[in-house]
Each structure stands twice: as structure tokens, then as C-alpha cells.
Amino acid sequence: MLHFIHSLPKIELHLHIEGALEPEMMLKLSHANGIPIPYQNLQEIRRAYQFGDLQSFLDLYYAGASVLCKQEDFFELTWAYMLRCHQERVVHTEIFFDPQTHTMRGIPLETVVRGITQALKKAKEELGISSYLIACILRHLSEEEGMRTLEDLLDFRHEVIGIGLDSSEVGNPPSKFKNLFKRAKEEGFLLVAHAGEEGDSSYIQEALELGVCRIDHGVRCEESLELLEVLRSRRIPLTMCPLSNYALKVTPNLKNHNLLRLLRYGLCVTINSDDPAYFGGYMNANFEAIAQALHPAQDELRQLSLNALEASFLPLDQKKEIKALILEYS
């Protein structure tokens, strides 16, 4: 099973590039850029990786992101992730980044986008890995602040394919950003949103009403049978993140995770790593964790990869090529 997982062609649709900041790089950039962080060494950073909930993780996540200052920092971070994709046979990835996390610190948006896209281009040319970039709006901030960020992103429409929604979920429902998502859709951006991670199933319903193509997480969809049928009949993808859900206490243990149950019910469920540096694993580790806890058949693991391909924003011709790769693998 491990050999099957490691060699299976995979597609990742839920990865926050700031969440791929490994402790070693965090410490190195902290020293190089003169940005203090509340940790003196790797051991202190790793001890902080014990989270009680989403907010406790976000506190460390934003502290870590503060060390990213220069274009080469964003390049180095992204290139390290793309090398990991190559090692784990991720053939396509659609990456989130948080513009406001950086612009509110005075880092120009161009610095962030250019650094990330430089690495993505290098990965396409040298590793054969395709990718898209999605900008996530921070939901704990106001819609007005998000709208200003959207305006700034209009200058990068060739680099940024979609708009997402992340950060503290409870108390910040998707409907808070109704006007922003309407404008983003009018400007031609594809839409996704985090929903149903800590927020209840109504957050998922609200996200669908905004016109999103995918639901990021969506673990609480079973609270509404009507919603469940909508997700199944419309093949709305759920980009689930098992190790993240366990680390943030969304599920008490992976044996209780509903990923496989939803897959067998006919939903377009996918596996992703979310913030792998913080949650203990990249794509292979997430597949392995599900395999160990839920004992899926190999065909079910293959279907998870096929679902991710279906849910991706790739054009049909590229989907056909990758589908052939997945289907011929055994």
C-alpha cells in the first residue's frame, strides 16, 4: 500500500504556501531578515506545534509568515514545496497564498506574487509540474479591506487564477464577503472558499450561494442531508485535509474522519495537505494516514486522485493526459 501511495500520480488543491514554511527555513529567514520570532531554536518552534484549535494554529502561522520579506524568500519557500511535490509524485498543484498577511506588513504584493510565480515557472520547466495560484482573502478582516486587496490583484490576473477565503471561520461566514465574491466573479476569477471546518454546515451553503467552484474542507457537510445531496448531485468538490483536521481537533482521531464515508456516498472528495509544515505531513503522509485509519481499497485511493483531477482548474486536454497516467498506474 505504501508503494502504491508513493507512486500514485497526485493532484493537490488545498495548500497554503505560507503553511509549507518548515521550522528550519523560518529560523533561517528570521535571522537573515532581522525579524524576531518568539522562538530561539528549532526545538521551541516544534514544541509550539501542539494546537488546541484553528486559532492557536493561526497565531503561529502568522508569526511564521512574518519572516517572509523579499522576493527570494517567497521563491525559496515555493521552490522547496515544489521539490517536495516532485518527490511525492504530485503532478499538478493549485496553491493558496494570503496577500493581506504580507501587504499589511508593508510587503508589496508584486514582491509576493513574483517570488511565488518564479518558482512555479521553474517547477514547470524543470520538474514538469503544472500549477495555478489562488489568492485567499482573510475572513477575520473586513470586506472593505478584502475589496481593496481584490482591486490590487486585478494587476496580476495573468498570475492569479482564483479568489479564495480563509483564516478564522467561526463568526466570519462567507456571506460577509458577498459583494467581494460578486466582484471577483465579474472580473473573471474562479471562486473557492474554506467552509465547514470549524463553522457548521450553513457556512458551506453560504459559500455555494456565493458561486464557489470548490469547498475547502467541508467536513461538517453531513449535518444537513439536503446539503449532502446538493454536493453529490452537483459534484461540488471537497478539498479535505486529514492531518490538518486531526491536528486542529476538528476530528478526535482519523478513524472517525468522514472522508471515506463521503467518498463512498458519491461525493467528489479529495485529499490535500493544507499547511504541511505545521500539521505533520505532505501529500503522501495524508494518504498514508487515511490508509492506516480507514483501510480504503487501492481503487478508492486512485479515485481520490481522479476526483482531484476532476476538481482541478486544468483544461480538458491536460486532464485527459493526467487521467491516463492515473488509470494506467497499479
Burial class (CB within 10 angstroms; exposed 0-12, middle 13-18, buried 19+) of 117: buried
Q: Where are the alpha helices (DSSP H) in the chain?
A: 2-7, 23-33, 42-47, 54-65, 71-87, 99-103, 109-127, 143-153, 178-186, 201-209, 225-233, 242-247, 259-265, 276-279, 283-294, 298-311, 316-328
Q: Where are the alpha helices (DSSP H) in 170-248?
A: 178-186, 201-209, 225-233, 242-247
Q: Are 46 and 24 in contact (CB under 8 A)?
A: no
Residue in 197, 229, 310, 321 annotated catalytic: 197
C-alpha cell, 17: 504556501
Q: Are 134 and 163 in contact (CB under 8 A)?
A: yes
- Indicate if 159 belongs to the active site: no
Cα 291 from chain centroid (whole Å): 21
- The Cα 154–Cα 149 span in angstroms is 9
Amino acid at the residue 172: N
> Cα–Cα distances in Å, from 142 out to 147, 182, 208, 241, 315?
9, 16, 20, 27, 34
Instruction: Dump the DSSP string for 24-50.
Output: HHHHHHHHHHT---S-SSHHHHHHT--
Active site residues: 197
